């Protein structure tokens, strides 16, 4: 099954446990600045939105990379950066329309979400299920179901 | 280990900024945050120094667990000598600022001296500077936050700032971080203003490492599950669930503590926040977590657009921090107001202008009593009828205090000085000059003892006798849980975690997390002993500052006027009975001073 990280902003409390789990997994330390997933807040915290790489099928970053440092994990669909091949040119950073691949000044390479080998730590760390790892072909089904219920109740009244 | 091993010393008089190594011996003895900050304060200033003068020291301290993956790990504390009390002030805040400080590489900031001109401190990793605050002096906390981020093209900066209240010497000005989290009490923002320091802006991109990562993830994971299981009510209702409990018990201070129950309580309680009114408006929009928190007790609310407070002020047509129990108490029962939108708006104003809502509300309550007695009139109050229950008076005075206009300047003095000014000191509901929180000491005896012995004055956050107080309404057996919980709470604060986790975790649970986090063998016993050391050092600061046993008391209203209703009807606080027992348990003399033996036992000799 092709899975994806599904974000449900209405459930996010902005606690940043995802950022800490991500940085711990990848850097061995707690460091939100190096997390591949970020939570953004709007309107004094009314809305908190977790955001990370969506693993585009035809990935801009991959196409832009002049050293072929970005490859596809065929099983997960994740786009992976090879630190050996990455030269830190930041072409991928410029190419990504979502800003989800980022240069790391400490390593001189770029970082992005790799789906933790199929067990995304952000999803397991999320205390409210605002981040889930679900069937990519049915990520909208929860909202669809909620809308359907609303329609049904609206019809009944 | 989770310490960065570095503090930053900033001398505002000379402009000198210098990192120095963290004193690890002190970290081991005082845990971190509140405790460590107290030790640094003790070693760096004369407790007799003027709180508003250049010789006072202002400390921002993180704990060993701040910035780690443990739940509620975002706490920091501001420690200084308080202008409201002349005692040690220690105010704790959540949000994201505290963790950011750690990521910037500093465990603690120590600020001394006084800048000649208004400045703000900018910490962007290793680039640190004092910048002119000319353009933001006189501006609100919210404007300041926006301006600094824009000025430095860095939306990731985390900012702790003061408003006009702090600049102009409101005695209970707060330091507000991340727009609506605050180191709220004891006038720590007033000290910042007196130093001409408008804000501290921090961006940190370094990491925090723990001693034993594998064990740390296991233990903190287990603790998060436990916390989620025990704190569901706090998540759903926030702290304002307490309003109903206090009303039913008869411990809800009303009309400046003249009553202990409030008829309009159900218009400003947690359920009222969740209720959808006839126009389809619901006060509460969502709940919100501080950094790392599993509970998310924070409230995000909004005000009805047609409400008199904001109908012509579109700039407030947005969501922001909503009512928590203490703000609901301070804008509700204690001033007799039952208008949830007015209360919510007053809360916005407190955050925007950087004011402690508890001290403001209780000071306003005293002014209302003075007004109803005829001691002050509309001639004093800029034409506003300061009657209990007047929601418009609440919001007008909140704004006047925030901007230091008219009668707001009098309210900004705090309840003690204001009541003395008008010749009625007995109306000031304070301990050591700091206003009470929303628990009446006649119904909750141990709370009264905790207020009376509070090192920063009246405070509900430095001990926890709630369960024993609810079980029995006499002073019997309250000294021991008061003392024990004071020590434990001091340790919890110092760890860098939030005291609300005490609903699920005891000393062994805190110790297990700390032990996986930091060097040294952390046990429950060591944690509590460290807490006792911290409490005693705070006490030593106060004694050296000139406070005495006479300051460990309560206003006459709570000692002589019986509770007029509720389950404690007819009772007064039994402080005379509890205090000597408390001193004996603490190993203090009858004068309230730690004995040589006690000091030696705690390594304070």
pLDDT of residue B381: 98
Q: Running DSSP on this structure, what letter comes out for residue B212?
A: S
**Helices B507-517 and B479-495 sit at what angle, rounded to 10 degrees?**
20
Mean pLDDT is lowest, of A51-55, A114-118, B124-128, B551-555, for B124-128
Class of the CATH-defined domain A54-112: alpha beta
pLDDT tens for each residue of B109-121: 999 999 999 999 9
**Overall fold of domain A1-52+115-157:** Alpha-Beta Plaits (3.30.70)
Pairwise CB contact (< 8 Å): A30 & B320: no
Q: Which top CATH class is B6-203? A: alpha beta
A124 touching B (Cβ < 8 Å): no
Q: Would you state the pLDDT for residue A1?
A: 82
**Strand extents, DSSP E, B12-106:** 16-21, 58-62, 76-81, 88-93
Instruction: State both tokens at A56.
Output: 């585009």
Across the interface, whether the CB atoms of B292 and A44 are under 8 A apart is answered no
What sign does the dihedral B436-B441-B444-B447 (CA atoms) show?
positive
- Quick check: A34 contacting B, CB < 8 Å? yes
pLDDT-above-70 percentage for chain B: 100
Partners of residue A31 in chain B, C-beta under 8 Å:
103, 205-208
Instruction: Write the pLDDT tens digit of every residue in B122-139.
Output: 999 889 999 999 999 999
* Beta pairing partners, A133: A5
Nearest to B295 by CA among B249, B352, B230: B230
Q: Which three-class secondary structure state does DSSP give residue B394?
A: helix
Average pLDDT of chain B is 97
The minimal CB distance from B204 to the residues A24, A33, A48 is found for A33
In chain A, residues with a C-beta closer than 8 Å to the C-beta of B218 are none
Which residue of A33, A39, A116 to mutate against B (max B Cβ within 10 Å)?
A33
**Alpha-carbon gap, residue B340 to A17, rounded angstroms:** 33
- Distance, in Å, from the CA atom of B172 to the CA atom of B409, rounded to the nearest integer, reads 12
For residue range B346-367, what is the model confidence (pLDDT) as tens digits?
999 999 999 999 999 999 999 9
Query: Euclidean distance between the first and final Cα of chain A, in Å?
Result: 40
Helix (H, G, I), strand (E, B) or coil at B413: coil
Q: Per residue in A22-77, pLDDT tens?
A: 999 999 999 999 999 999 999 999 999 999 999 999 999 999 999 999 999 999 99
Asked if B179 reaches chain A (Cβ–Cβ under 8 Å), the answer is yes
> Which residues have CB under 8 Å from B220's CB, separation 6+?
B68, B69, B70, B71, B513, B516
pLDDT digits (tens, 9 = 90+) for B363-419: 999 999 999 999 999 999 999 999 999 999 999 999 999 999 999 999 999 999 999
| Domain layout of chain A by residue ranges | 1-52+115-157, 54-112
Q: Kindly indicate the confidence band of residue A157, based on its pLDDT and cuts at 50, 70 and 90.
A: very low
How many contacts (CB atoms, under 8 Å) link A and B? 89
Chain A residues inside the 8 Å CB shell of B224: 127
pLDDT digits (tens, 9 = 90+) for B55-91: 999 999 999 999 999 999 999 999 999 999 999 999 9
Nearest CA in chain B to A16: B292
Which residues 50-69 on chain A approach chain B with CB closer than 8 angstroms?
none
Q: Taking a contact as any Cβ pair under 8 Å apart, which residues of chain B between 122 and 161 contact chain A?
A: 156
Confirm whether B6-203 and B435-601 share one CATH topology: no
Distance CA B197, CA B15 (A): 12
**Cα distance between residue B335 and residue B391, in whole Å:** 9
DSSP string, B549-578: GGGS---HHHHHS---SSTTTT----HHHH
In this prediction the pTM is 0.97
Residue A155: its pLDDT value, please? Answer: 57
Partner-chain contact B207 A13, CB within 8 Å = no
The domain spans of chain B are 6-203, 238-249+254-428, 435-601
In this structure, whether the domain defined by B238-249+254-428 belongs to CATH 1.10.569.10 is answered with: yes
* Whether A44 and B217 lie within 8 Å, measured CB to CB: no
Region B435-601: CATH code: 1.10.599.10
Q: Is the dihedral of CA B301, B305, B308, B313 positive or negative?
A: positive
Q: Would the pLDDT of B345 be above 90?
A: yes
Q: Contact, A95 vs A60, CB < 8 A?
A: yes
Of B206, B288, B321, nearest to A14 by CB-CB distance is B288
Of the candidates B19, B35, B13, which has an alpha carbon nearest to the alpha carbon of residue B112? B13
Is B68 in contact with A32 (Cβ distance < 8 A)? no
């Amino acid at each position: 099954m092709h899975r994806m990280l599904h974000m449900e902003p209405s459930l996010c409390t902005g606690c940043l446990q995802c950022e800490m789990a991500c940085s711990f997994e990848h850097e061995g330390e707690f460091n939100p600045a190096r997390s591949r997933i970020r939570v953004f807040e709007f309107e004094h915290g009314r809305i908190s939105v977790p955001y990370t790489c969506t693993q585009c099928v035809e990935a801009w970053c991959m196409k832009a990379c002049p050293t072929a440092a970005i490859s596809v994990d065929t099983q997960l669909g994740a786009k992976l950066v090879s630190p050996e091949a990455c030269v830190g040119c930041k072409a991928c950073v410029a190419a990504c329309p979502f800003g989800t691949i980022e240069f790391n000044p400490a390593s001189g390479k770029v970082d992005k979400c790799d789906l933790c080998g199929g067990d995304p730590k952000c999803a397991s760390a999320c205390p409210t299920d605002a981040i889930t790892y679900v069937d990519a072909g049915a990520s909208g089904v929860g909202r669809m179901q909620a809308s359907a219920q609303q329609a049904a109740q609206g019809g009944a009244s | 280990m989770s310490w960065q091993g570095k503090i930053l010393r900033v001398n505002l008089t000379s402009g000198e900024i210098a990192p120095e190594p963290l004193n690890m011996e002190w970290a081991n003895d005082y845990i971190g945050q509140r405790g460590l900050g107290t030790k640094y304060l003790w070693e760096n200033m004369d407790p007799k120094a003027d709180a508003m003068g250049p010789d006072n020291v202002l400390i921002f301290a993180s704990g060993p667990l701040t910035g780690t993956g443990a739940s509620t790990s975002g706490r920091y504390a501001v420690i200084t000598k308080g202008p409201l009390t002349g005692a040690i002030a220690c105010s704790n805040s959540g949000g994201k600022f505290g963790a950011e400080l750690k990521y910037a590489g500093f465990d603690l900031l120590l600020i001394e001296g006084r800048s000649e001109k208004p400045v703000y401190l900018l910490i962007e990793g290793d680039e640190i500077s004092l910048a002119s605050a000319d353009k933001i002096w006189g501006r609100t906390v919210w404007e300041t936050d926006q301006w600094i981020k824009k000025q430095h093209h860095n939306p990731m900066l985390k900012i702790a700032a003061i408003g006009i209240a702090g600049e102009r010497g409101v005695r209970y000005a707060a330091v507000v971080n991340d727009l609506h989290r605050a180191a709220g009490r004891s006038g720590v923002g007033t000290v910042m203003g007196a130093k001409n320091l408008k804000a501290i802006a921090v961006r940190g991109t370094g990491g925090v490492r723990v001693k034993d990562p594998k064990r740390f993830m296991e233990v903190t994971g287990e603790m998060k599950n436990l916390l989620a299981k025990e704190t569901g009510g706090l998540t759903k209702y926030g702290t304002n669930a307490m309003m109903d409990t206090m009303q039913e018990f008869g411990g809800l201070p009303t009309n400046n503590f003249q009553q202990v129950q409030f008829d309009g309580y159900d218009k400003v309680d947690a359920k009222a926040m969740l209720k959808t009114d006839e126009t389809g408006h619901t006060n509460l929009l969502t709940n919100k977590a501080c950094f790392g928190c599993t509970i998310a007790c924070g409230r995000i609310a909004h005000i009805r657009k047609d409400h008199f407070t904001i109908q012509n002020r579109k700039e407030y047509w947005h969501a922001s921090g909503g009512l928590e129990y203490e703000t609901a108490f301070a804008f509700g029962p204690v001033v007799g107001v039952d208008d949830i939108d007015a209360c919510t708006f007053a809360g916005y104003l407190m955050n925007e202008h950087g004011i402690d809502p508890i001290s403001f509300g209780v000071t306003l309550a005293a002014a209302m009593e003075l007004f109803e007695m005829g001691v002050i009139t509309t001639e004093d109050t800029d034409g506003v009828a300061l009657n209990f229950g007047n929601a418009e008076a609440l919001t007008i005075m909140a704004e006047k205090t925030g901007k230091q206009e008219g009668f707001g300047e009098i309210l900004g003095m705090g309840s003690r000085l204001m009541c003395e000014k008008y010749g009625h000191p007995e109306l000031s509901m304070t301990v050591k000059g700091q206003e009470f929180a929303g628990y009446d000491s006649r119904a909750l005896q141990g709370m009264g003892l905790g207020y009376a012995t509070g090192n920063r004055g009246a405070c509900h956050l430095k001990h926890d006798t709630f369960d024993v107080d609810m079980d029995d309404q006499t002073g019997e057996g309250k000294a021991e849980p008061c003392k024990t919980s004071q020590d434990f709470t001091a340790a919890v604060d110092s760890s860098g975690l939030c005291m609300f986790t005490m609903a699920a975790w005891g000393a062994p649970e805190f110790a297990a997390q700390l032990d996986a986090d930091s060097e040294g063998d952390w046990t429950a016993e060591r944690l509590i002993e460290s807490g006792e050391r911290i409490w005693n050092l705070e006490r030593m600061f106060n004694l050296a500052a000139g406070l005495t046993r006479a300051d460990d008391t309560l206003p006459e209203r709570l000692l002589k006027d019986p509770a007029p209703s509720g389950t404690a009807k007819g009772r007064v606080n039994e402080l005379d009975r509890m205090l000597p027992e408390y001193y004996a348990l603490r190993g203090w003399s009858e004068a309230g001073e730690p004995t040589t033996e006690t000091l030696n036992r705690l390594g304070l000799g």
